[in-house]
Amino acid sequence: MMKRLFGVCLAAALVMASVAGCGSDSATETTEPAAATESAEAANKAAGEESTATAEETAGSSEWLSVIPGYENETGEFAKGPNGETGTSADDITLTQEQYDKIKGQNLKAAMLWAGASEWYNAMTDGAKAEFEKMGIEVVAISDAQFDPSKQATDIETSMALQPDIILTLPVDPVSGTRAFQPAVDAGCKIVFADNGVDDYKAGDQYVSIVTGDQYGMGRAAAKLMAESIGNKGKIGIIYYDVDFLVTNNRDNEFVRTIVNDYPDIEIVAMSGFSAENATGEVAAAMLTQNPDLNGIYVSWDVAAEPVVSELKAGGYKDCKVVTMDLGGNNDLDMAQGGNVYGKVADMPFQIGETMAKIAALDILGEEAPAYVLSGTVSMTKDNMVEAWNQSLNKDPDASVMEMIGK
């Protein structure tokens, strides 16, 4: 949410953020590509305002390429950071035993201020905790902003009273985050972001680094899963996170680009945006009313996909397949049961958490830390659920899932 919406936090900016907002769930029609949000627009979206594009409004498949925020971002093999930084592999971020020993003697404290709550966030927390334990760093706060920028600002203020030396966080909103994180910057905290930064901050100045997944690779992998799920042909809808949030923007746009460019027999017939992840059921209902013959739906992240799956079941759309991002119990159980959820793509949040902790430590030791770091990518279907969970989350699926797949 969006992972995790994130994060990510994303609004449902999580998301991600895929990202869990609240407020009005009203939908508004749009005939123009969504642009990067300004502060006023971000406030409206945080209240749950939705946007929708129809096939009639975007005649021709190529027009779908300019609907999702961030569509103008430079594309390529790997996504770049918010200031054009080239990504470094998380596998390359290591500490020597000598460096661990140096950190242990400093009596440091850390806070983890996440945008939301999910298996993705839990894994990130577990990864960071494992590293902090090796370093003798005390974790003094862990918070869930519920994808509410105001709550995250309060979480930051509350944590500052505990005087953390390190803050690991996924910002809910890059616009309001500029002011919200300023007290931590002024206090000299080592800030490491997951997935997304905030406006006007630069690595090496206000924060140390951003650690995230291979966003373009995830988008391409999700498109491949969608194609597999519907036999490489048919009609699909896209429910995307309609907020200026780098990670979901890059993933969602790369999904669209891959479908349009690589799968000529798959037709995108509807795209609808959301900002509150609990509003996606209504978005899906409207989409299905206009397009009852949909073969598949892509949703930005797992938690946001849950209301969509519920709507499909309630409406009897048993053959409409869902592809989304991040791993999680409810939708994974549906997958194990052979339901609507066909496949998921995930980054490695446990590794992301580990890496964030390592980068903060390196910066404290005066070592150079890369500005933008990418973790690996995992694709999951019913056939490899245990392997995917262990690779991404460093644990087995929930007991109900394990029982369903006979493990």
State both tokens at 28: 């508004």
CB-based contact 156:180 (threshold 8 Å): yes
Nearest to 295 by CA among 331, 255, 322: 322
pLDDT > 70? residue 17 = no
* Rounded (5°) CA angle 31-34-37: 140
Q: Which helix (H) or strand (E) covers residue 164, if one does? A: none
Q: With bands split at pLDDT 50, 70 and 90, how would you rate the model's confidence at 329?
A: confident
CB-based contact 185:206 (threshold 8 Å): yes
- Cα dihedral 304, 306, 312, 318 sign: positive
- Please give the DSSP secondary-structure letter assigned to residue 36: -
Instruction: Give the pLDDT confidence score for residue 246 in this predicted structure.
Output: 83
Torsion angle of C-alpha atoms 366, 370, 371, 373, degrees rounded to 10: -140
CB-based contact 396:386 (threshold 8 Å): yes
Instruction: Name the more confident of 395 and 34.
Output: 395
Question: pLDDT tens, 102-133?
Answer: 999 899 999 999 999 988 999 999 999 999 99
Instruction: Give the pLDDT confidence score for residue 76 in this predicted structure.
Output: 64
CB-based contact 70:36 (threshold 8 Å): yes
Instruction: Report residue 224: phi and psi, to 5°.
Output: -65, -45
Number of H helices, E strands in the chain: 14, 15
CB-based contact 309:189 (threshold 8 Å): no
Residue 107 CB partners (closer than 8 Å, separation 6+): 136, 138
CATH of domain 27-78+215-348+377-404: 3.40.50.2300
Per DSSP, the three-state class of 344 is strand
Q: With bands split at pLDDT 50, 70 and 90, how would you rate the model's confidence at 96?
A: very high
Q: With bands split at pLDDT 50, 70 and 90, how would you rate the model's confidence at 383?
A: very high
| DSSP class per residue in 281-321 | HHHHHHHHHH-TT--EEEESSHHHHHHHHHHHHHHT-TT-E
Measured CA distances, 142 to 170, 207, 393 (Å): 12, 19, 18
Instruction: Give the pLDDT confidence score for residue 220 in this predicted structure.
Output: 95
Provide the CATH topology of domain 88-212: Rossmann fold (3.40.50)
pLDDT > 80? residue 156 = yes
Q: Residue 321 forms beta bridges with which residues?
A: 296
| Fold match, 27-78+215-348+377-404 / 88-212 | yes
CA atoms lying within 13 Å on the CB side of residue 130: 14
State both tokens at 42: 């971000």
Characterise 195 by phi-psi region: left (phi > 0), alpha (psi -120 to 50), beta (else): left
Q: With bands split at pLDDT 50, 70 and 90, how would you rate the model's confidence at 52?
A: low
Mean pLDDT of the chain: 85
pLDDT > 90? residue 342 = yes
CA atoms lying within 13 Å on the CB side of residue 320: 26
Q: Where are the domains of the chain?
A: 27-78+215-348+377-404, 88-212
pLDDT > 60? residue 12 = no
pLDDT > 90? residue 1 = no
Measured CA distances, 21 to 246, 277, 362, 381 (Å): 18, 6, 35, 28
Instruction: Report residue 73: phi and psi, to 5°.
Output: -60, 145
Instruction: Give the pLDDT confidence score for residue 398 in this predicted structure.
Output: 87
Q: Residue 114 forms beta bridges with which residues?
A: 144
Per DSSP, the three-state class of 67 is coil
Q: With bands split at pLDDT 50, 70 and 90, how would you rate the model's confidence at 53?
A: low
Instruction: Name the more confident of 12 and 308.
Output: 308
State both tokens at 377: 């990518």
Long-range contacts of 136-139 (CB under 8 A, 24+ apart): 136/103, 136/104, 136/105, 136/107, 136/108, 137/103, 137/108, 137/109, 137/110, 137/165, 137/166, 137/357, 137/361, 138/107, 138/108, 138/109, 138/110, 139/109, 139/110, 139/111, 139/112
